[in-house]
Amino acid sequence: MKIEKNKIVFGAVILCVVLFIGSYSVIVLGDEEEPTIDNNQIPVPELGDEQKEYDSKLEALDDLKEVRQTNAPSIYDERLLDSTGVYDPDLLDKEKMRIVDSIYNEGRISYSDRSFRKPKVKIESMPQQKDSVSEIAIKENITSKELGLEHQLFFASNPLENENLITQNTDAFIYVRVDGTQTVRNNYRLQMRLTKDALINGTTVLRNTPIYGFVSFKPNRTIIEIENINHKPVKLNAFDLQDRSEGIYIENSFRAEARQEVVGDIVDDINIVGVPQVSGVKRIFQRNNRTVKVTVIDNYQLILKPIL
């Protein structure tokens, strides 16, 4: 029985394929060894891609690869993208209209006449230059006059002191005592001393500093005014520490004698020929101011207050 050649060829091809597959599997799978544990050590897989070591920093920098950003190509025409990246299919037409409108607004083209006109340029007139020498002379003359006027006003001025500022720099209550028993009359000087440190016109005056006041009289009161402390002008009035009223309390007969003189003036209203008429009220105050004496005992307590 004869075998056909086609079958022989087909069988030879199949045999070659089977032999090839078997030899390949033996080569590939035969190299892999089963892991075995020796000396109680667990096998560790080997690292494939180890980090490359460099001898210097320069080699590491040279080996760096530049990472370039890759953008996907746009599906729109870039000419139709506005400044914000928004797609506008009519962008080219709008740009042409904007250019035409800008030219039209300049007014340099007449579309009806199809002509071009130049822009009107205003020619500014040059200001006439003045004589600098005369201006300097006039300015110097004006300056000299102004200086002379300011000089006169400076020496003619008489600025007033701010009394409110003076009172702000002075203590509201300044405690003093009479220095020794003294008998005084009208316009006599009364010597006192500070019992505490005090601030007067912005200056601190120490304790026991002598202070001098001048005496005047009112009904039942002796008024004391202080005009100078340590060669510095001040305006202070003395108040009684006991009744807190201005001056020192005294008892005098001004009112009783004045009442008698008023009655006498009423009687004297009858004119008698040859007898001069003199006001008794005026005479009683003049006489009492000259004759009244007041004795102030030692260490009498007073309070000085600034005059507002």
pLDDT given for residue 278 in this prediction: 47
**pLDDT at residue 256, as a whole number:** 43
Q: What are the DSSP calls for the chain, one per residue? A: -PPPHHHHHHHHHHHHHHHHHHHHHHHHHHSPPPP---TT----PPPSSPPPP-SSHHHHHHTPPP-----PPPSS-GGGB-TTS-B-TTHHHHHHHHHHHHHHHHT-EETTTTEE-PPP---PPPPPPP-HHHHHHHHHHHHHHHHHHHHHHHHH--PPP-HHHHHHTS-S-EEEEE-S-EEE-TT-EEEEEESS-EEETTEEEPTT-EEEEEEEEETTEEEEEEEEETTEEEEEEEEETTT--BBEE----HHHHHHHHHHHHHHTTS--TT-----HHHHHHHHHHHH--EEE-TT-EEEEEE--
pLDDT reported for residue 117? 58
Q: What is the pLDDT of residue 32?
A: 58
Full pLDDT tens readout for the chain, 308 residues: 556 788 888 888 899 999 998 888 888 776 555 656 666 666 666 666 667 787 888 888 888 776 677 777 777 778 888 888 788 888 888 888 888 878 777 765 555 555 555 656 555 656 555 555 556 666 666 777 787 788 778 777 666 666 555 566 888 899 999 999 999 998 899 999 999 999 988 889 999 999 999 999 888 889 999 999 988 899 999 999 988 899 998 876 445 454 554 445 544 454 544 444 545 545 555 555 567 788 999 999 999 999 87
